[in-house]
Amino acid sequence: MNRMKDKVAIITGAAQGIGATYAKALAAEGAKVVLCDLNTPNETAAAIRAEGGSALALACDVTDGAAVQAMVEAAVAEFGGVQVLVNNAALFATLELKPFEQTSSAEWDKIMAVNVRGSFECAKAVLPVMRKQGYGKIVNIASATAFKGAPMMLAYVASKGAVIAMTRSIAREVGDTGIRCNCLAPGLTMSTNVQANAAWADDIVRNNIASRCLKREAVPEDLIGALLFLASADSDFMSGQTVVVDGGSVTH
């Protein structure tokens, strides 16, 4: 249980759901974790500390470049560096399913700001630290919907397609400095927030499951193995790639 020993990992959107699951899994493997969300993720941090782990909890809006920079500086001050960034913060579970022409320009901009620019701001902020170390892992979180062209959620799907493209470009730019940038693309995962959205129920969930090779609901714990692989030395000769974890709905 020491794959992440002596590593410092930032996880955005870590207050609950999948982000909290990622944070707990990294801490269980020995990482010192820095957790951020719009509201300070104290509950996640407390759970990690209760298991003997090290956690720093911070409030941070990932669309605010200055706030993101301050968060990275706090991580370095507390733990001495940053080896891993998990760009998990995103708008999804609370979004309304609707035809794309019913999406307002303001809603489009908000989704793009959080899901795309937020990941960009965080990657940009950790870059000097990782370059100085000569090592780093940036794990962007996309979505299997980007490979499906899923309907009724155009802004979200477009944002996650942008994250995949951004991953490839970052990987090309930073590889010579020892930094790897890869992407994890989950399918529909029944997190707490997804379960609370009435849109993600009944036929939509059943049809999604029917499209999979492995015909069951996905839960946040299903993503841990791939996340740890991308964050650890196990994937040190891998960059610019997108790993889909959706039970085999998408194959590529």
pLDDT in tens, 81-123: 999 999 999 999 889 999 999 999 999 999 999 999 999 999 9
With a pLDDT cut of 70, the percent of the chain lying above it is 100
**Looking only at Cα atoms, what is the longest distance across the chain?**
50
Find the mean pLDDT for residues 36-57.
98
Q: What is the pLDDT of residue 196?
A: 84
Which stretch of DSSP H or E encloses residue 141?
A: strand 136-141
Confidence at 45, pLDDT banded by 50, 70, 90: very high
135 is catalytic: no
Average pLDDT, the chain: 96
Instruction: Cite the DSSP H helix spans in the chain.
Output: 17-28, 42-50, 65-79, 105-112, 118-133, 145-148, 154-174, 192-195, 202-210, 224-231
The rounded distance, in Å, linking the Cα atoms of 87 and 246 is 19
Residue labelled with tokens 């801490």: 27
- As a whole number, mean pLDDT of residues 55-69 equals 98
DSSP symbols for 13-24: S-SSHHHHHHHH
Structure confidence by residue, pLDDT tens digits, 197-236: 877 778 889 999 999 999 999 999 999 999 999 999 999 9
- For residue 195, the model assigns a pLDDT of 86
CA separation for the pair 98, 81 (Å, rounded): 43
pTM of the model: 0.97
Q: What tokens does 195 get?
A: 């379960």
pLDDT value, residue 201: 79
Q: Please name the residues in contact with 53: beta carbons below 8 A apart, sequence gap of 6 or more.
A: 27, 28, 32, 33
Contact 118, 12 (CB under 8 A): yes
Tens-digit pLDDT profile for residues 156-205: 999 999 999 999 999 999 999 999 999 999 999 989 888 888 777 788 89
Catalytic residue among 22, 79, 147, 156: 156
Regarding the domain with residue range 8-189+220-245, which homologous superfamily does it belong to in the CATH classification? NAD(P)-binding Rossmann-like Domain (3.40.50.720)
